[in-house]
Amino acid sequence: MADSNYLIWAGLAAAMVGLSKGGLPTVGMLSVPILSLFMSPVKAVVLLLPIYIISDMVGLWLYRKNFSATNLKILIPAGVGGVLVGWLTASVVSDMAVKMMIGLLGVGFVLNAWRKRHTEQAPRPARWGQGLLWGGLSGFTSFISHAGGPPFQVYLLPQKLPKLVFAGTSTLFFAVINLAKLGPYHALQPYGAPELMGALVLIPFALVGTVAGAYLTRKIADNWFFNAVQVGLLLISVKLIVDVVRA
């Protein structure tokens, strides 16, 4: 932690987690790759979980009145089930395979959305079948590498929810998912004093990011917001694919 270069980049990673919890989805997915410059991806995932949970608490208060209860009733049980599957299969599932799957799904969804952008698409209703599938996949991939955003967005974006409702639903869903990951993560790699101290130092960066994310979400026009979500989803998905190819 005495390395100022590490602290700058780790602080940036924590701030990105906060921005995502404040309502700017996909930004937080850059945090693990950034920390992986200094440590193993597994260690990065473990270190960031307390940052996610603390940022979640702020996000819950910020979006306490803006969320889709119908979607959360579907997504939360599915997501917690996905976390359980991720825990039970942690020793046999390849990180590379999961990254490739997430990347291909994200690229395919965005390209299909852009292909239809000049065609008026009616908002889709919340559906149990699709919600259970994408919610479960989101919980699973979130457990593997905090990369649950793309499956969640593939399910929720076609519903064309109001901007704040979309952001709030995302914040509440992942707050529950991150709490569900705490026990399994500790069982797989117990938290020690170094990990907890490392997370403690990064908390201020995350809190500032969360408040800034909520402010920006409210200021950005709806059209720009959802376009930014799609571009972010595409960039993250491409990066995941590139990581696998390089490996």
Residue range 184-190: average pLDDT? 82
Instruction: Read off the pLDDT band of 23 (50, 70, 90).
Output: confident
Three-state DSSP class for residue 38: coil
Q: What is the pTM of this model?
A: 0.80
The number of folded domains in the chain is: 1
Q: What rounded mean pLDDT belongs to the chain?
A: 85
Instruction: Read off the pLDDT band of 3 (50, 70, 90).
Output: low
Give every CB contact of residue 34 below 8 A, 6+ residues apart in sequence. 9, 10, 12, 13, 16
pLDDT of residue 30: 74
Read off the DSSP letter of residue 27.
G
Residue 44, domain extent: 4-246
- Residue pair 47/39 in contact (Cβ under 8 Å)? The answer is yes
Q: How far apart are CA 33 and CA 26, in angstroms?
A: 13
- Tell me the pLDDT tens digit for each residue of 44-61: 777 888 898 999 898 899
Q: Decide if pLDDT at 1 tops 60.
A: no
pLDDT of residue 37: 66
- Tell me the pLDDT tens digit for each residue of 143-182: 887 778 888 988 998 999 999 999 999 999 999 999 999 8
- Tell me the pLDDT tens digit for each residue of 77-102: 999 999 999 999 877 777 777 778 76
Measured in whole angstroms, how far is the alpha carbon of residue 212 from the centre of its chain?
17
Half-sphere exposure of 53 (CA within 13 A, CB side): 16
